[in-house]
Amino acid sequence: MSPIMQQFHEIETYIECSASRHIQVLEVFFFAHKAALYPTMLLYDHESQTLTPRCKRALKRIFVLSDRDRDGALSDDELDDFQVVQKNLSDGVNEKGLTLKGFLFLHTLFIEKGPIETTWAVLRKFGYNDDLKLANDPIPHLKRAHDQSVELTNEAIDFLKTIFNEFDGDHDGMLQPCELEELFSTAPESPWIENPYKDAVERNAFGGLSLDAFLSE
């Protein structure tokens, strides 16, 4: 690593070149093209040497969607990188496979040591654009008269009850703020922190949300 890159961690590539003498000109265009297609700044904080919060949430969403049996691990006997994770992170792999911590650690390695294209390929495969935002799928607008209301179907209620119970870690019949944060941890941000949802339903003294309030929200 060159001294200038050691001094300024935000510099990703350093090339000595000369257009007049045709020294490493093609390399400049190659790395410029790579930086445009696979930017690092959105994914990685060079100062703290960690993934950015938005990148962590995006990768966590991908992990959860990929963990179909919901056992908290991705099992794949052919993933050679398990050994890399095991060597550097004791709880990155368990008997079931690659844990969320291991998954995040693996992508940190891809960004730090390459190929960063792997992380961007995964993100784009799961619908993230170049700004690390999910593509906005058009949601049909519900047309209704002023005296009409909208109700959840029985299937929707059953699904939301399952989600509520899954994130009610202490089984007290309430979703506490930390549990709500975990529920929306795979989203870019919680949709309930702004109006008109912020104070739309009643909460207990600790900010907890009952099942009825959760369904109403």
Tell me the C-alpha distance between 171 and 206, whole Å: 15
The per-residue pLDDT for 79 is: 54
| Domain 154-216, second-level architecture | Orthogonal Bundle (1.10)
CB 127 within 8 A of CB 135: yes
Which two three-digit tokens encode residue 161? 């009850």
Question: What is the model's pLDDT at position 212?
Answer: 86
State in Å, rounded, how far the first CA of the chain is from the last one. Answer: 53
**93-94 and 97-99 strand pairing:** antiparallel
pLDDT in 10s for each residue of the chain, 217 residues: 567 666 676 667 778 888 888 888 888 877 777 877 888 888 998 888 899 988 999 999 888 888 877 788 877 643 544 456 667 777 787 887 888 888 899 899 888 888 888 899 888 888 888 888 887 655 566 777 877 887 888 898 899 899 888 888 888 888 888 888 888 888 777 777 777 777 777 888 888 888 888 888 7
Q: So what's the architecture of 42-134 in CATH?
A: Orthogonal Bundle (1.10)
Tokens 């961007």 -> residue: 120
The per-residue pLDDT for 155 is 92
Residue 51, classed as helix, strand or coil, is strand
Q: Is the fold of 42-134 the same as that of 154-216?
A: yes
pLDDT of the residue at 38: 83
* Per-residue model confidence (pLDDT) at position 52: 92
Domain ranges of the chain: 1-37, 42-134, 154-216
**Burial status of residue 182 (CB atoms within 10 A of its CB: 0-12, 13-18, 19 or more):** middle
Whether the model clears a pTM of 0.85, i.e. scores above it, the answer is: no
Question: Residue 87 class from Cβ within 10 Å (0-12 exposed, 13-18 middle, 19+ buried)?
Answer: exposed
CB burial of residue 63 (10 Å; 0-12, 13-18, 19+): buried
